[in-house]
Amino acid sequence: MDPAPVIHRHRTAIRRAGLSAPVATTLREGLFSSGRTFLDYGCGHGQDVAILRGQGIDCSGWDPEFQPDTKLVDADIVNLGYVINVIENPAERASVVRRAWTLARDLLVVSAQVDSPPPEHVARPFVDGVLTTRDTFQKYFTQSELRVYLEDAVGVPAIAAAPGIFYLFKDETAKEDYLARRHRRANSVPKLRLSEARLEQNRALIESFIETIAQLGRLPDTSEFAQASELEGVFGSLRRAFAFVTRMIGSDAWTGIAATRSEDLLVYLALSRFGRRPAFNVLPASVQLDVKSFFGTYRRACALADDLLFTVGDLGKIDDACAQSSIGHLVDNALLVKRRDLTMISPLLRVYEGCARALCGEVEGCEIVKLHRYSGKVTYLALHEHEPTDRPRTATRVKVTLPTLGVDVFTYPDDESTPTFEFGEQLLAF
């Protein structure tokens, strides 16, 4: 019998110039709010910790090989970055996830390899993964397998942040707040167009009130406007202040803003059914107020959201929505949309794409989203850097197949062997 191989886990730790993908994603999405602490559990050489400390974030890192003397203490955010995929013992792997979960007060970020295993001449099968020629172990998950694995380990929904990266929230309301913000567009702030003594005397206060209304799309509750008591002292109530502002600006501006926010809310509620829709009292207070203001009752809002979600399964209507879209570039089998324009497409197509993003998360560097018209697929494309006149080469392609809940990730080198993106010239033009 061959002796058991010696696994050198520490050899999988790499040195990088910038933040790792899971930490960069968490930072970019605003989850590192002021005063929150961070623990990098399995920090390797510690670059993430060093960079975050340089940004003034209270953080620490522990690693059994490189930082074994750091005291393991709980933190608001715990990162378990590309750790579980290098542990060859399945029982130990699950134990590490649960240990990281107990250390996280608010949020656990877990990442793992979701690429295809390397060919056999580079790695050979071992346990439930592969053993490499460097005597390291790698477990390659699929996106859906990683989600199920994490949910089984800790018992809460795993939210896809990106391919191979998931968020696990301790508080359900915090999770719903994050998901609601994902689908909330920024509204432009209407300009005051008339002059009145009361306006001129309180301009800064009134403009702050207008900004709050533009953000919410409705009259704020007193808890949502820090200067509510001051405004009430001038007008008597927030409702009277709103009536005054409407006379100054006109009602048409608010109609468009309210429509935008109510659409955003329907998209969020439709996609919340993709997992397990929360009870009304679990929703963030601001979302509860949104529901009451835009739809009257949660039951009515959920019914409208369900109608929207179930329509996604009708590919004939998806095709119609793609064909009628004023946003994007229509080709034979798909609507091609720039990533930055996704919030501008119809609510039906936003939910169609949102179902795919719920499975794969954000694709780093994604520039183009391909909404397939007939197959129930959504493809995310990140392109290699290119000049405006060039036909761009694909760097990463993530294909999500909604009928089977499949996620496939493909990466390509930036050389002549990589095909150019077929509609690159047209896309660069719109």
pLDDT over 90 at 381, yes or no: yes
State residue 422's pLDDT score: 60
pLDDT over 80 at 319, yes or no: yes
Other CB atoms within 10 A of residue 387 CB:
7
Q: Is the distance from CB of 190 to CB of 164 less than 8 angstroms?
A: no
Least confident of 64-68, 109-113, 374-378: 64-68
Do 300 and 331 sit in the same domain of this protein? no
Question: How far, in Å, CA of 265 to CA of 295, rounded?
Answer: 10
Helix (H, G, I), strand (E, B) or coil at 167: strand
Domain membership of residue 14 (yes or no) is: yes
Pick the more confident residue, 237 or 428: 237
State residue 430's pLDDT score: 42
Do 48 and 94 sit in the same domain of this protein? yes
Least confident of 46-50, 99-103, 133-137, 332-336: 133-137
User: If pLDDT is split at 50, 70 and 90, which confidence band does 124 have?
Assistant: confident
Pick the more confident residue, 119 or 31: 31
User: If pLDDT is split at 50, 70 and 90, which confidence band does 120 have?
Assistant: low
Question: How far, in Å, CA of 410 to CA of 85, rounded?
Answer: 19
Structure-token pair, residue 55: 């940004």
Do 147 and 20 sit in the same domain of this protein? yes
Q: What is the mean pLDDT of residues 18-23?
A: 93
Which DSSP letter does residue 416 get?
T
Helix (H, G, I), strand (E, B) or coil at 66: coil
Do 151 and 138 sit in the same domain of this protein? yes
Do 278 and 321 sit in the same domain of this protein? no
Q: Is the distance from CB of 66 to CB of 49 less than 8 angstroms?
A: no
pLDDT over 60 at 45, yes or no: yes
Nearest residue to 214 (alpha-carbon basis) of 237, 191, 193: 191
The last residue of a domain, from among 311, 327, 344:
311
- Amino acid at site 52: L
State residue 49's pLDDT score: 93
User: If pLDDT is split at 50, 70 and 90, which confidence band does 130 have?
Assistant: confident
State residue 249's pLDDT score: 79
Do 142 and 268 sit in the same domain of this protein? no
pLDDT over 60 at 11, yes or no: yes
Domain membership of residue 2 (yes or no) is: no
pTM, two decimal places: 0.86
- pLDDT digits 0-9 by tens, 283-306: 999 999 999 999 999 999 999 999
Question: How far, in Å, CA of 430 to CA of 428, rounded?
Answer: 6
State residue 295's pLDDT score: 97
Domain membership of residue 106 (yes or no) is: yes
pLDDT over 70 at 400, yes or no: yes
Do 278 and 236 sit in the same domain of this protein? no
State residue 386's pLDDT score: 63
State residue 346's pLDDT score: 96
- pLDDT digits 0-9 by tens, 75-97: 999 999 999 999 999 999 999 99
Pick the more confident residue, 125 or 93: 93
> Is the dihedral angle over the CA atoms 345, 347, 349, 352 positive or is it negative?
positive
Do 324 and 342 sit in the same domain of this protein? yes
Q: Is the distance from CB of 266 to CB of 347 less than 8 angstroms?
A: yes
Do 232 and 330 sit in the same domain of this protein? no
Domain membership of residue 190 (yes or no) is: no
Q: How far is CA 102 from the centre of its chain?
A: 24
Instruction: Give me the residue label for tokens 């018992």.
Output: 155
- On average, the pLDDT of the chain sits at 88
Do 166 and 237 sit in the same domain of this protein? no
Pick the more confident residue, 384 or 189: 384
Q: How far is CA 59 from the centre of its chain?
A: 23
Q: What is the mean pLDDT of residues 395-417?
A: 88
- pLDDT digits 0-9 by tens, 330-353: 999 999 999 999 999 999 999 999
Domain membership of residue 386 (yes or no) is: yes
Domain membership of residue 289 (yes or no) is: yes
Domain membership of residue 223 (yes or no) is: yes
Domain membership of residue 4 (yes or no) is: no
State residue 10's pLDDT score: 74
Question: How far, in Å, CA of 91 to CA of 284, rounded?
Answer: 37
Q: What is the mean pLDDT of residues 3-25?
A: 82
Q: Is the distance from CB of 267 to CB of 350 less than 8 angstroms?
A: yes
State residue 13's pLDDT score: 77
Least confident of 188-202, 205-219, 352-366, 400-414: 188-202
State residue 186's pLDDT score: 78
Do 289 and 414 sit in the same domain of this protein? no
State residue 174's pLDDT score: 94
Do 301 and 323 sit in the same domain of this protein? no
Domain extent at residue 111: 9-170
pLDDT over 70 at 191, yes or no: no
CATH assignment of the domain containing 94 = 3.40.50.150
Q: What is the mean pLDDT of residues 236-264?
A: 88
User: If pLDDT is split at 50, 70 and 90, which confidence band does 413 have?
Assistant: confident
How many structural domains comprise the chain?
4
